[in-house]
């Protein structure tokens, strides 16, 4: 009987303040959409970092026959200098940093260069002798690039040291900033949701002040009086959360899986609808907690004994 009464009061409050209820649903939807988008973007960044950093190589280019670099003022790297660099890679100093390495000869470098630029003017003018010998080093931890680079930079016969990770950092920086912006917008919208839910519940409580006054007189507890109002806010916020989850699922399914994954030419892993489903319970829980806390705070003045 009590449960039935609480439900009837809840739906009565929702129907009485329909415009405000819709506003709560929409604000909850937008705020949780931003929260979910920020979380999914961070997941994507972590996925891409793990995928790409694992493939990152540190390239040590030896001086070719003709180079304008100051480090190659003495001309092409000698075999002794090449052997010294290889010995350093295999030394105990770098054993904890180097996962594996390959030596690319001039012939291999020329073949790869021609595959990329063979049809261009620069490709037609290139010769095998112009190509540098290089070492391609895979690291145990891509974050330790600087330690490895310092060992080769300025060494005799070394033209330059290139870390592929440096080309990825600007992309990750942009994505991280986008994630921070969506997170900031989510925080602003969450504050708006709290204020709107508080106002809605307060108006609902004020419109039924006579009913709650009678309930207090017959000995109803604070929880019994407040529960219908708290459920109003929770249900409205929950509807917004469900809509946000649906929008995120549709976005990932149609935009990321259906378009982005097939349009991007380079190989990388993307988030999927499974990530949205794993995030969904947390968004629903956040909506309930947000609404319940806002309602409890708002009702403390109007329904206390």
Domain at 57-163: CATH code? 3.30.70.3040
- The residue ranking higher by pLDDT, 193 or 283, is 283
Distance CA 9, CA 12 (A): 5
Phi then psi for 162, rounded to 5 degrees? -120, 130
pLDDT digits (tens, 9 = 90+) for 27-48: 888 888 888 888 888 788 777 7
Whether the per-residue pLDDT at 198 is higher than 60: the answer is: yes
Helix, strand, coil percent values for the chain (each to nearest 5) = 70, 10, 20
For 143, other C-beta atoms within 10 Å of its C-beta total 10
CA–CA separation, 305 and 302 (whole Å): 9
Q: Hey, CA dihedral for 180, 186, 187, 189, is it positive or negative?
A: positive
Provide the pairing of β-strand 98-104 with 134-139: antiparallel
Position 113 scores a pLDDT of 84
Classify strands 134-139 and 158-163 as parallel, antiparallel or unpaired: unpaired
pLDDT tens track for 159-178? 988 876 666 677 667 777 77
The conformation of residue 155, written as its DSSP 8-state character, comes to -
pLDDT at residue 305, as a whole number: 42
Q: For residue range 246-263, what is the model confidence (pLDDT) as tens digits? A: 999 999 888 888 777 666
pLDDT at 257: 81
Task: Please report the pLDDT score of residue 284 as a whole number.
Answer: 92
Residue 189 CB contacts under 8 Å (≥ 6 apart), including other chains: 27, 30, 31, 34
38-75 per-position pLDDT tens digit: 888 878 877 776 666 666 778 899 998 888 788 888 88
Residue 28 backbone class (left: φ over 0; alpha: ψ -120 to 50; beta: rest): alpha
Closest CA to 197 of 246, 248, 238, 244: 238
Higher pLDDT, 286 or 116: 286
**CATH 3.30.70.3040 residue window(s) in the chain:** 57-163
C-alpha–C-alpha distance, residues 24 and 273, integer Å: 26
Residue 5 has pLDDT above 50, yes or no: no
Separation between Cα atoms, residue 269 and residue 48, nearest integer Å:
6
């Amino acid at each position: 009987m009590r449960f039935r009464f609480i439900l009837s009061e809840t739906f009565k409050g929702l129907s009485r303040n329909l415009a405000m209820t819709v506003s709560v649903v929409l604000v909850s939807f937008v705020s949780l959409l931003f929260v979910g988008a920020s979380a999914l973007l961070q997941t994507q960044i972590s996925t891409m970092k793990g995928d790409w950093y694992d493939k990152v190589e540190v390239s040590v280019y030896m001086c070719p026959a003709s180079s304008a670099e100051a480090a190659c003022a003495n001309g092409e790297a000698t075999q002794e200098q090449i052997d010294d660099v290889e010995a350093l890679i295999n030394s105990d100093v770098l054993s904890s940093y180097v996962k594996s390495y390959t030596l690319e000869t001039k012939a291999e470098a020329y073949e790869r260069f021609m595959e990329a630029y063979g049809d261009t003017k620069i490709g037609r003018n290139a010769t095998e002798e112009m190509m540098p010998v290089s070492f391609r080093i895979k690291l145990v931890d891509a974050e330790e690039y600087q330690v490895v680079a310092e060992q080769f930079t300025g060494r005799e016969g070394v033209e330059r040291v290139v870390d592929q990770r440096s080309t990825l950092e600007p992309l990750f920086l942009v994505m991280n900033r986008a994630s921070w912006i969506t997170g900031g917008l989510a925080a602003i919208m969450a504050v708006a949701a709290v204020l709107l839910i508080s106002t809605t519940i307060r108006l609902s409580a004020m419109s039924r002040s006579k009913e709650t006054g009678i309930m207090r007189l017959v000995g109803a507890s604070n929880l019994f009086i407040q529960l219908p109002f708290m459920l109003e806010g929770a249900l409205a916020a929950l509807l917004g959360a469900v809509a946000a989850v649906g929008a995120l699922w549709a976005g990932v399914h149609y935009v990321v899986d259906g378009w982005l994954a097939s349009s991007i030419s380079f190989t990388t892993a993307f988030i999927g609808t499974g990530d949205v489903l794993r995030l969904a319970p947390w968004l629903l829980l956040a909506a309930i907690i947000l609404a319940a806390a806002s309602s409890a705070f708002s009702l403390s003045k109007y329904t206390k004994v």
